[in-house]
Structure 1
Amino acid sequence: MEKQTKNTLAVLATAFMSFVGILTETSLNVTFPAMMKQFQVSLDTIQWITTGYLLMIAIIMISSSYQNERFTARQLFISAAVAFITGSMISAFASSFYILLLGRLISALGVGLCTPMMFNLIVEVIPRQSWGFYMGIAGLVIAMAPTLGPAFGGSVSYYLNWRWIFIIAAIFALFVFIAGIIVIGRYHPIQKKSFNWLAYIFLSLSLVSLVIGVNQLSKGLQNWRLWGLLILTVLLFISFVIISKKSTRKLLDLQVFEDKAFVFGAFAYFLLQFINIG
């Protein structure tokens, strides 16, 4: 197989895996009433199968730079596919809400690994003059998948039931996995670098605290848990920044935030995704 064709198929394999993972971000929202009735839980509880899923993806993505240096693309893709398929099947046959949530978190591990890898592969194996086209495809995956999610989830739950959302996603992911392991290879030597676990833990905890805190808004602004968790979020994030500046092991390069163009671009993209998914 021609090298460039193989590289293109490798990018498409990660794109399809990311697509099916991101599709299930929002596909379950329309099934909340059915699952609330089946598992006898409240809306505040059942929404964690989406909120927890997105939160886990974000936490895994934080370490994407380290993952790209420490492991090969093939290793990451296999890990992502196995995690997503395993988590989807656990969710499909879950007998309780907590088993369902566990399956979702395992699936999120796969999406958190695969989505950054899609962008890494583009800049690593695709000629520079074609970056714009492939970045557009990657952007389309991220934008369209959550948009199509409710329609997909609604159609499947109407004709079958919500469990088939996971089964269909797992079957699709299995085909992508089989194709992916044929075309995805090793593109750079791995570097056995140490990982800044302390900074990672503080940043992850700050995200968890922020999400749980924001969820307290439904109980009113007078709720002490809301303000307590938001203050905790700020303290954890400040601790992360201090640890990152003192450590030689960089989890995230904070110097990029000194570039105004990057900051405004990142903020605009954040608002775009917030509006789209929200």
Structure 2
Amino acid sequence: MKENTKNVLAVLSAAFMSFVGILTETSLNVTFPTMMKQFGVGLDIIQWTTTGYLLAIAIIMICSSYLNERFTARQLFIVACVGFMIGSVISAVAPNFPILLLGRLISTLGAGLSTPLMFNLVTEVMPREKWGVYMGIAGLVVAMAPTLGPAFGGITTFYLNWRWIFGFVTIFAIIVFVAGLFVVGKYHEQTKNSFDWLSFIVLAIAFITLTLGVNQISNGFANPLMWILLIVTAILIWLFVRLSKKSSKKLLDLAVFKQKAFVYGALAYFLLQFNNIGISFVLPNYIQIVGKQTSLVGGLILLSGSIIAGLLNPY
């Protein structure tokens, strides 16, 4: 496989779509105090615009291996862009919280499809000796987008309105979509394998119960609902493992978990992202709700760290 301009642009198209999708993960965090007043809901409700968004992305990514075999890169790219744009427009004009959340869930197709597509394209269209370089670029996209989100959201909300966050990302997505249509193509033959719906449903419910259970921590560790949800999660994960061992249709390849290097690396990455995204949620809201500062200050409070992270990422 040669490193030609069209292939490079194909990877960059998926990367930019992934960037704009991930950017909106955290850009709304700084707008929560404003939206809480506008929609008349509490922080525990409004935070689902981010929590639900991340949860839906995780559920979509479960299917990435199957989708890569079943559909072409071009088809996945188109669905990712169109889904993200439709969801963003719905969110921009949402008259109430349920419609806003609906728009957010639809727009998860953007990051949910384009992020794994970005990594798949690197291994499919780039020469092996260049994988490290382009994986680094992909990693930079994934790392920078959530840290730049609060600054982008804070500046936009302060000078314009939180709805313009979705307006700007939609415009950017349209540009990426049009450019990507000329360069993203078909790179391998598709196979029409059957989808393991049972394992998918079990794992998706496990993700949901885990998220709901962790959210119950705010009510104290003596809260029985939290423990019930976490126990249900453990049972569902056990059931998923059993189903995966017996089924000929592999939703996820669990064999990688036999490698200690993979397990430790995945755990380290999980903890890093847990801290990164957690701080980008807590700090801007603390600055505004407790510190009585503007959304501009709440957004910019993380900007210096974002810049340093961006400079260090290549190293």
**Bucket of the pairwise TM-score, normalised by the shorter protein:** over 0.9
The corresponding residue for 1:114 is 114
The corresponding residue for 1:275 is 275
- Report if aligned partners of 2:60, 2:113 keep a CA contact under 8 Å in 1: yes
The corresponding residue for 2:97 is 97
Q: CA deviation at 1:276?
A: 1.6
Tell me, what secondary structure is at the counterpart of 2:4? Answer: helix
Distance 2:236 2:94 in 1: 34
The corresponding residue for 2:195 is 195
The corresponding residue for 2:32 is 32
Q: Aligned letter for 2:132? A: G
Tell me, what secondary structure is at the counterpart of 2:182? Answer: helix
The corresponding residue for 1:158 is 158
Distance 2:161 2:3 in 1: 43
Distance 1:23 1:3 in 2: 28
Q: Aligned letter for 1:165? A: I
The corresponding residue for 2:312 is none
The corresponding residue for 1:42 is 42
The corresponding residue for 1:68 is 68
- Report if aligned partners of 1:122, 1:134 keep a CA contact under 8 Å in 2: yes
Tell me, what secondary structure is at the counterpart of 1:183? Answer: coil
Distance 2:181 2:269 in 1: 32
Query: For 1:210-235, what per-residue CA distance to the aligned partner results, in whole angstroms no more than 9, with x for missing partners?
Result: 00111011111121110110011011
Matched, 1:266 2:270: no
Distance 1:80 1:109 in 2: 5
The corresponding residue for 1:207 is 207
Q: Aligned letter for 1:178? A: V
Q: How does 1:71-86 map to 2 (within 5 A)?
A: 71-86=71-86
Q: Aligned letter for 1:66? A: Y
Matched, 1:148 2:137: no
Tell me, what secondary structure is at the counterpart of 2:95? Answer: coil
Query: For 1:178-213, what per-residue CA distance to the aligned partner results, in whole angstroms no more than 9, with x for missing partners?
Result: 000110000000000000000000001000000011
Q: TM-score, normalising length from structure 1?
A: 0.98
- Report if aligned partners of 1:80, 1:113 keep a CA contact under 8 Å in 2: yes
Distance 2:60 2:259 in 1: 25
The aligned length equals 277
Tell me, what secondary structure is at the counterpart of 1:190? Answer: coil
Q: CA deviation at 1:110?
A: 2.2
Q: Aligned letter for 1:193? A: N
The corresponding residue for 2:305 is none
Q: CA deviation at 1:254?
A: 0.7
Q: CA deviation at 1:3?
A: 7.4
Q: How does 1:163-242 map to 2 (within 5 A)?
A: 163-242=163-242
Distance 1:110 1:237 in 2: 27
Q: TM-score, normalising length from structure 2?
A: 0.87
Identity over the aligned pairs, expressed in percent? Answer: 68
RMSD (CA atoms): 0.9
Distance 1:145 1:232 in 2: 33
Distance 1:109 1:10 in 2: 18
Matched, 1:247 2:247: yes
- Report if aligned partners of 2:3, 2:126 keep a CA contact under 8 Å in 1: no
- Report if aligned partners of 1:28, 1:150 keep a CA contact under 8 Å in 2: yes
- Report if aligned partners of 1:143, 1:276 keep a CA contact under 8 Å in 2: no
Distance 2:214 2:143 in 1: 24
Q: Aligned letter for 2:185? A: G
- Report if aligned partners of 2:3, 2:127 keep a CA contact under 8 Å in 1: no
Distance 1:233 1:260 in 2: 23
Distance 1:116 1:84 in 2: 15
Q: Aligned letter for 1:274? A: F
Q: CA deviation at 1:109?
A: 2.0
Unaligned ranges ≥5, structure 2: 279-315
Distance 1:111 1:16 in 2: 10
Distance 2:55 2:149 in 1: 18
